[in-house]
């Protein structure tokens, strides 16, 4: 039988300074979470994100925190928490998700996220229960027991026009066309900003991406789009255009190419440096062998 590290309780304490009664509620964390190898396979980022979510959940495992709230509890930037959340949502055990998410459009560009922490997570609150987990099901030495579905477990009910991205993910960037390029832009935008990008003119935006990105740079198109969105806040944000739009590709491409060129040069320098170190070490060993 699984044992919990912490027992759910209401812990009331009195602040001696002002006499205020402080009430805390605890989440049950079962030792099976660790003994089964679940945490070891999740990794620190997913585990920390799961625990932050759990701090908001109710007896049913449901919670509604904003990304800013989660970022504050972990102590990371909101862009980083987006990445952590998506990694946690994609994590599965034998095809089962620990956490799923649904999104609801509240209007005026506001997106509402609903998270469900499932009993498989080995976390419970109040009278909530957990799903028994076989200690051999999740084995850090047997990664085949971990099943990550090709269909993300994010349950993003409002995501639209992204289905055709399935044909480009994990493939060469040259497979992008105008439609999938726009879908990629929307996906990266949502990951970075936590809200859906609303396309103003689908045909116009597709043509712009085709003319400025896909056709002239077929093998770099995916990286250009990703870098343009992820670096926008740091490099090109301004009061008139606080967030990236597809229209920016009419001027931003050359700037992104400079960034990519710098990345390539740094990679080459690092590789050359490593090669020189290996040569120096080999030369030193040769000298030592002669002396010895």
Instruction: Provide the pLDDT for residue 164.
Output: 36
Tell me if 36 sits within 8 A of 134, measured CB to CB: yes
Identify the segments of the chain with pLDDT beneath 50: 1, 4-14, 16, 21-23, 136, 140-174, 266, 268-270
Q: Which residue's entry shows tokens 């879908």?
A: 183
DSSP state of 4: B
Q: Report if pTM > 0.75.
A: no
Tell me if 268 sits within 8 A of 275, measured CB to CB: no
Tell me if 186 sits within 8 A of 197, measured CB to CB: yes
Instruction: Provide the pLDDT for residue 210.
Output: 92
The DSSP string of 140-194 is TTBGGG----SS-TT--TT--S-GGGGGTTTS-GGG--HHHHHHHHHHHHHHHHS
Instruction: Provide the pLDDT for residue 247.
Output: 94
Q: CA-CA distance, 42 to 87, in Å (whole number)? A: 9
Instruction: Provide the pLDDT for residue 288.
Output: 67
Instruction: Provide the pLDDT for residue 280.
Output: 64
Q: Which residue's entry shows tokens 């935008």?
A: 189
């Amino acid at each position: 039988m699984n044992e919990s590290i912490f027992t759910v309780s209401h812990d009331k304490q009195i602040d001696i300074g002002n006499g205020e009664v402080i009430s805390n509620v605890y989440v049950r964390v079962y030792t099976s979470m660790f003994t089964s190898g679940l945490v070891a396979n999740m990794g620190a980022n997913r585990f920390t994100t799961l625990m932050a979510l759990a701090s908001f959940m109710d007896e049913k495992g449901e919670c509604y925190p904003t990304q800013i709230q989660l970022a504050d509890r972990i102590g990371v930037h909101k862009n980083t928490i987006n990445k952590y959340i998506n990694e946690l949502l994609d994590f599965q055990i034998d095809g089962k998700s620990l956490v799923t998410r649904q999104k609801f459009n509240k209007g005026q560009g506001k997106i509402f996220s609903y998270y469900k922490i499932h009993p498989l997570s080995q976390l419970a609150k109040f009278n909530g229960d957990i799903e028994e987990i076989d200690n051999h099901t999740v084995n850090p030495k047997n990664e085949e027991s971990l099943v990550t579905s090709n269909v993300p477990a994010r349950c993003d009910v409002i995501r639209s026009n992204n289905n055709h991205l399935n044909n480009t993910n994990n493939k060469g960037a040259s497979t992008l066309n105008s439609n999938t390029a726009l879908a990629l832009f929307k996906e990266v935008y949502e990951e970075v900003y936590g809200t859906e990008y609303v396309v103003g003119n689908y045909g116009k935006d597709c043509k712009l991406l085709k003319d400025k990105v896909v056709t002239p740079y077929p093998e770099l198109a995916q990286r250009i789009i990703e870098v343009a969105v992820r670096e926008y806040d740091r490099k090109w944000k301004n009061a008139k255009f606080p967030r990236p739009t597809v229209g920016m590709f009419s001027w931003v491409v050359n700037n992104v190419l400079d960034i990519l060129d710098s990345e390539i040069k740094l990679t080459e320098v690092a590789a050359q440096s490593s090669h020189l170190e290996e040569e120096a070490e080999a030369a030193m060993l040769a000298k030592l062998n002669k002396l010895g």
